[in-house]
Amino acid sequence: MSTDTRPPIVEIRGLTKSYRRGNLLVPVLHDMSFDIPEGEFLALMGPSGSGKSTLLNLIAGIDQADAGTIRVGGMEITSLSEMDLAAWRATHVGFIFQFYNLIPVLSALENVELPLHLTSLSHAERREHAFMALGLVNLEHRLGHYPGQLSGGEQQRVAIARAIVTDPTILVADEPTGDLDRVSAEEILDLVERLNRELGKTIIMVTHDPRAAKRAKVLKHLEKGYLNDDHPQDSVSERLSQ
């Protein structure tokens, strides 16, 4: 039994999700219930089709459940309309994708500033926040460069700066090292780990990479839409070696 006394930042109860393929209903997640404590660094692993990315998208408010509830920071997002959900995502979720999703015609600073256009901040305030976020990922010297002028690791760091610029409630990362060489991947994992350790960011990461999973505090393993028990950091290495 878990002895974690931190308050939950994510509360999931009875979560069920299926997709329709023609006339066939394909179940993906089955009556799932668990909490994610505030300040957690959680890795989700499992074979392709196990429901990892579906679970991540549901927590991030990108997709909607068939049944069950999800509360993030006290907000029940499963009851929000599409419009309200979009507004909630803009301020409460930071996204880190495998392929960065940067806009090629915008500079690093402009890419990081994008989420702030949905806020009431002035132009000067947006620029200040974006510059500070780039400083946190050690890229303030590259703020005028375009994505095509940056390495893969630098592009991912810009994407991370964009993810944290609104000071979101949670960070969700879908295969954040999947498109990087080993050295760049380790640099990104160092950065993600530092965001969790030093800034207290709650991070939920889907990965196939055992090296990435070992950086997390807790590993959860999905198999055919079912979630295994928590594996804390001191047992993650042992778990991954099996």
Is residue 1 domain-resident?
A: no
CA distance 195 to 41: 10
> For the segment 38-62, what is each residue's pLDDT rounded down to a tens digit?
999 999 999 888 899 999 999 999 9
Q: pTM for the complete prediction?
A: 0.89
* Residue 230 structural domain: 39-62+80-240
User: Average pLDDT in the 206-219 region?
Assistant: 93
Mean pLDDT (the chain, rounded): 90
Provide the CATH number for the domain around residue 230.
Answer: 3.40.50.300
Domain assignment present for residue 3? The answer is no
Q: Taking 50 as the threshold, does the pLDDT of residue 235 lie above it?
A: no
- For residue 170, tell me if it sits in a domain: yes
- Domain-embedded: residue 14: no
Q: 19-23, 85-89, 165-169, 217-221: which range is least confident on average?
A: 19-23
**Residue 70 domain-assigned?**
no
Contacts of 31 (CB under 8 A, 6+ apart): 14, 15, 16, 68
What distance in Å separates the CA atoms of residue 66 and residue 99, rounded to the nearest whole number?
A: 29
194, containing H or E segment: helix 182-199
Inside any domain, residue 198: yes
Tell me whether residue 193 is in a domain.
yes
User: How many domains is the chain built from?
Assistant: 1
| pLDDT for 3 | 60
Q: What is the mean pLDDT of residues 225-231?
A: 75
